[in-house]
Structure 1
Amino acid sequence: MAYLLISSSLHVSFDSILAMDDTGIVAMFGALVVSGLKGFLGCPAIFYENALTEFFQNGSVRDGMVVSTIQGTSVEISEEIFSGAFALPLDGLTDLSEIPKDLVFDARSIVRPLLTSIFSDSGKQVSTSCKKREIKIEFRLLSDILAKSIFMKAGSFDAVTHERFLLMAAITGGVQINWGRLLFNIFKEMVTAGSRQAKGYAIQICVLLKDVPALELGDSKAFPSPRILTEKMVHRYVVINEKVIVEEVANKPR
């Protein structure tokens, strides 16, 4: 089970990537830092397989907290503990679908030009739900990070959902987001019986478990290197996607 928790998620080596000689990539990851996600996406990349498995087997939500037992030791994680462990912001937007209509209108008047000039390679206006190939490479990568490490989406990653698209606009546009509340709500869904939310946050959960008094976690394992975004991995991602773009242009009917 622990392998499934990390099989699609991504970890970010911010120091490595922010040293890249790529303005677009550096700006995008810089926006993630400003947004408040560095501590969450870039936390220590180790996990404890047995402890994780037992955590989810016994996990549930009680009184607004995520609770579980591991080797008979009680674990209680509140929103405050969760947010504090990763220095997540506790102010700002929590649910993009609940933005008042007048604010949505104002935001669209700002975001639409932003999407036209920043997200699209062609300068053509992009719909707020689209195929990933319709947006610039750095935002394809941002979409993957949000899908795999925030929302823990399973399956195909080719489509950019309306929610994810607006969240990308909010991050790159400097809109304040209450990541503490947003991520903790997803975390609670992971341990809710019958929920369709995919499980994940493996290394983040292990950071939290290390602070539980008297809890023996056993031997740690390193997060798989192919799942860690470094300068080398991001460069490879860019090269592959640029090749795809060239092939699409070459095959486009004239």
Structure 2
Amino acid sequence: MAASLIQSALQVNFDSVLSFPDEGMVQMFKALESTGLRSFLGCPSVLYEDDLVALFAHSLVRENAVIRCVQAKFVEISEEVFAGSFELPTEGFTSMHEVPKDLIYDAQSVFSASGEPSKTSCKKNKMKIEFHLLNDILAKSVTVKAGSFDAVTHERFLLMTAIHYGLKINWSKILFDILKDVVTPSSKQSKGFATQICVLIKGGPDLTLGEANTFPPLKILTIKTLGTYVAKNKSITSEEVTDEPPVEKFVKKVAAKRRLAPAAEPVAKRKRTTVGAAPTEKNLEIVPVVQILNQFLLYRL
């Protein structure tokens, strides 16, 4: 189970990615850092797998606190403790619907790779590569929603807008609400926050934690892994842009099959034979209506 909790997760080494040789990418990370997520996304990458599995199996949510049972001991995590552990802002927007509409309109052009205003729900390859990546970070490590990561949801678009324009976000409230859903067994919320939860477990009193495993290096964004990400996704985007539309592909495929099909041998026409005299042109003339009526009356008599 522990492996599945970090299957899609990403962490960010801000000191490393801020030296990336691309101004747009650096500006995106600076905006992400200034909004208050540096400690949350860049927390120590140590996983205590056994204790993590136990926590997800034995956690309760009571009012504004998460009560966890680890090693037969109950420990309470309040929103204040959660926010303090990751230096999260406690003031600002708690709903993305509070983002001003004029900024949303501007972002539709700023985020777009083509320069044409994009929709607030679209494929992420329609965006510039830095916002393409921002969507991935938010989807995999912040909102931790289930489903495809190829699309930008309306909610994430608004969140990206708030981050890009430096709006104050109450990450304490937003992330703690997600945490409560994450540890609730009946919730449809995807499981996540594995490294953050391990930080909270480690800070608990009188706990002797089990074996520690490091977070996979390839899932940590550094100047090296970021370069790989950019090269890979630019290549994918280029292929999709230059690719032929499905209809044209289908037409060409059918046409090729027709050209390759062997020509059928001509079938000799068989002459039709008739018994008796062939019908003359006169016989095929339309019989006058009067003649037909006379014949009918004779038949009745």
If the TM-score is normalised by the length of the shorter chain, which range does it land in?
over 0.9
- Larger gyration radius, structure 1 or structure 2: 2
Q: Percent identical across equivalent pairs?
A: 50
Match of 1:30 in 2: 30
Q: Distance in 1 between matches of 2:157 and 2:239?
A: 25
Match of 1:158 in 2: 150
Higher relative contact order (CA 8 A, sep 6+): 1
Letter of the structure 2 residue corresponding to residue 222 of structure 1: T
Unaligned runs of 5+ in 1: none
Q: 2:176 aligns with which of 173, 181, 184?
A: 184
Distance 1:123 1:252, change over 3 A: farther
Runs of 4 or more, structure 1, over 6 Å off, are none
For the Cα contact (< 8 Å) 2:92–2:168, is it kept in 1? Answer: yes
TM-score normalised to structure 1 length = 0.93
- Say yes or no: does 1:83 pair with 2:83: yes
Match of 2:296 in 1: none
Q: 1:111 aligns with which of 104, 108, 126?
A: 104
Match of 1:249 in 2: 241
Instruction: Indicate the RMSD between aligned Cα atoms, in angstroms.
Output: 1.4
CA drift of 1:182 comes to 0.1
Q: Deviations over 1:99-128 (max 9, x none)?
A: 3xxxx5xx2223312330x20121100111
Q: 1:218 aligns with which of 210, 233, 254?
A: 210
Q: Distance in 2 between matches of 1:49 and 1:192?
A: 18
- Say yes or no: does 1:52 pair with 2:52: yes
Q: Counterparts in 2 of 1:94-243, with a 5 A limit?
A: 94-97=94-97, 99=98, 107-116=100-109, 118-243=110-235
Letter of the structure 2 residue corresponding to residue 206 of structure 1: C
Letter of the structure 2 residue corresponding to residue 39 of structure 1: S
CA drift of 1:137 comes to 0.6
Structure 1 range deviating more: 168-177 or 55-64:
55-64
Unaligned runs of 5+ in 2: 249-301
Q: Deviations over 1:187-244 (max 9, x none)?
A: 0011223110011101101111111110111121000112111111111111112222
Q: Distance in 2 between matches of 1:41 and 1:204?
A: 9
